Amino acid sequence: MYENILLEREDSLAILSVNRPKALNALNAATIREIGQAIDEIAADSAIRALIITGAGEKAFVAGADISEINHITSSMQGMQTSQSLHGVFDQIAAMNKVTIAAINGYALGGGLELALGCDIRVASTNAQLGLPEVNLGLIPGWGGALRLQRIVGTSMAKYLVMTGERISADEALRLGIVQKVYPAEELMAEARKLALTIGNNAPLATAAAKRLLNAGSEMPLRDAIQLEQALFGHLTATEDCKEGTTAFLERRKPEWQGK
């Protein structure tokens, strides 16, 4: 079904691997379309609670965009439409109601880092290198990477990283809060699976509500964000999952979530 990605299911977990290792998993238009189709498929599958996005092979998560395609853009309107279409796929990832984890193995540069930044959580291997080097190509990040990075590291650091195009190590990305954990390469996917299952085993409605609150709240004035929090909390208290979770706590047993 897919030519440029691999999509696997392991019980309540899905793993999407960009599968162009000879091109260091660079994102061309066909690959982006396939990612969008896979995201739609996963979003519609109620059995899937969490998604891991990674890159096939050992060298790269995603080494960037396919530069040959960008080189053939002939007008500013075509360039803007390209940015808009790719934003749409990355926004799908950011907005889907399941937890998304980027397992960054090797290079995550340009569009690769932008893809990772669209995920909820990022874990990296010790040999990972991250960066937004678009200025070296006469460009800026066009798929939301600079703006998502700014919300993580602050304006001054984002300016430094975007304007220099500097690559940083996994340890530096951890220090800056771009990734949340760093593991030896041979342990990365096992740890990503463990994290995905830990989150996926929590109440699905509550996890989705937490994601919605934190995504939307980061764009709102605090008072508006608090009102959203109150509304979501109120909604959850009336769900069967909340009744099950609180009852299971009182009865000292493991809850059985229904997603209702």
Find all residues with CB under 8 Å of 249, minimum gap 6, and list them. Answer: 255
Task: Give dist(CA 97, CA 214) in Å, integer.
Answer: 12
Q: Could you confirm whether 134 is annotated as catalytic?
A: yes
* DSSP string for 135-195: GGGT----SSHHHHHHHHH-HHHHHHHHHH---EEHHHHHHHTS-SEEE-GGGHHHHHHHH
* Max CA pair span of the chain: 66
DSSP-H helix ranges across the chain: 29-43, 67-71, 76-95, 111-117, 145-153, 155-164, 170-176, 188-200, 204-217, 222-237, 240-251
3-state SS, residue 130:
strand
Tally the C-alpha atoms within 13 A of residue 247's C-alpha that lie toward its C-beta.
10
Task: Give dist(CA 166, CA 142) in Å, integer.
Answer: 17
Q: Which two tokens stand for residue 158?
A: 């984002």
Query: 8, 114, 187, 191: which is the annotated catalytic residue?
Result: 114
Q: Could you confirm whether 191 is annotated as catalytic?
A: no
Q: Which residues of 91-116 are buried (b: 16+ CB within 10 A; e: fewer)?
A: ebbbebebbbbbbbbbbbbbbbbbbb
Query: 41, 58, 134, 229: which is the annotated catalytic residue?
Result: 134
Residue type, 145: G
**Catalytic residue positions, numbered:** 114, 134
